[in-house]
Chains A and B, each alone.
Chain A
Amino acid sequence: KQEVTQIPAALSVPEGENLVLNCSFTDSAIYNLQWFRQDPGKGLTSLLLIQSSQREQTSGRLNASLDKSSGRSTLYIAASQPGDSATYLCAVRLSGSARQLTFGSGTQLTVLP
């Protein structure tokens, strides 16, 4: 069974820092990996999706990388801002079935002004 782990569970940084969030998964035979942002009490907002054939995706200050062989993905946030404060989740899709999506438990990020 696929397991997805996100460490650390919580992270606090001063504004302006560059930071890396980690996501690891146990089964490397994935179809894609998606990063989400969740604000308190709200739903999940998709940030980046990386297909299994890709190594990275970029959107603005965000860059997500994927290393299937080691079972890892990272989300890099450049020049962090207080508005980046949220919980960040990764989700791994294991097979061709859309229901085979496994979520990590998230990293709660606080960016201090």
Chain B
Amino acid sequence: DVKVTQSSRYLVKRTGEKVFLECVQDMDHENMFWYRQDPGLGLRLIYFSYDVKMKEKGDIPEGYSVSREKKERFSLILESASTNQTSMYLCASSKDGARSGNTIYFGEGSWLTVV
């Protein structure tokens, strides 16, 4: 089975802190994603990576950056955490070329509270 592992399930950080959320997948997937999920707003894409060192902004990239130095690992960085970044963060991956086809797999989620 595909496994997408998010290193931290629950975090509490202070406003202004730098926050790292780590995600690792074990199926050699090209694509990796970071979403946030908020009540009433659903899932929103923050960043997407289709290869090592390659990234694309999603719908809500402001206040976030990402790093993909190895194929299996995709990190989400909050440079200076703010209270409006309190949310559930979901990492996902899929094996995909330029065309459609493949299932997207999600991690268990990371609950971030910024105080």
Selecting from B67-75, B76-84, B106-114, the interface stretch reads B106-114
- Interface residue ranges of A40-77 to B (CB < 8 Å): 41-46, 49, 51-52
List the B side residues contacting A46 at CB < 8 Å: 103-106
Indicate if the CB atoms of B42 and A103 lie closer than 8 Å: yes
In the complex, which range does the number of interface residues on chain B fall in?
20 to 34
Within 8 A of B (CB), among A76-98: 89, 91, 93, 95-98
Interface residue? A28 (CB, 8 A): no
In the complex, residue of chain B having the shortest beta-carbon distance to the beta carbon of A46: B103
Question: B27 to chain A: closest CB distance in Å?
Answer: 13
Within 8 A of B (CB), among A7-42: 31-32, 34, 36, 41-42
Q: Among the listed A31, A45, A99, A104, which residue makes an inter-chain contact with B45, where contact means beta carbons less than 8 Å apart?
A: A99
Give residues of chain B (24-70) contacting chain A, Cβ–Cβ below 8 Å: 31, 33, 40, 42-43, 45, 48, 50, 56, 58
A45, A99, A106: the one within 8 Å of B56 (CB): A99
CB within 8 Å of A: which residues of B? 4, 6, 31, 33, 40, 42-43, 45, 48, 50, 56, 58, 88, 90, 92, 94, 96, 98-109, 111
> What are 8 contact pairs spanning A and B, CB under 8 A?
A31-B101, A34-B103, A44-B90, A89-B43, A96-B98, A98-B96, A99-B33, A105-B42
Choose from A36, A42, A96 the contact partner of B100 (Cβ within 8 Å). A96
**Set of chain B residues within 8 Å of A111, measured between Cβ atoms:** none
Contact pick for A93, options B40, B45, B56, B100, CB 8 Å: B100
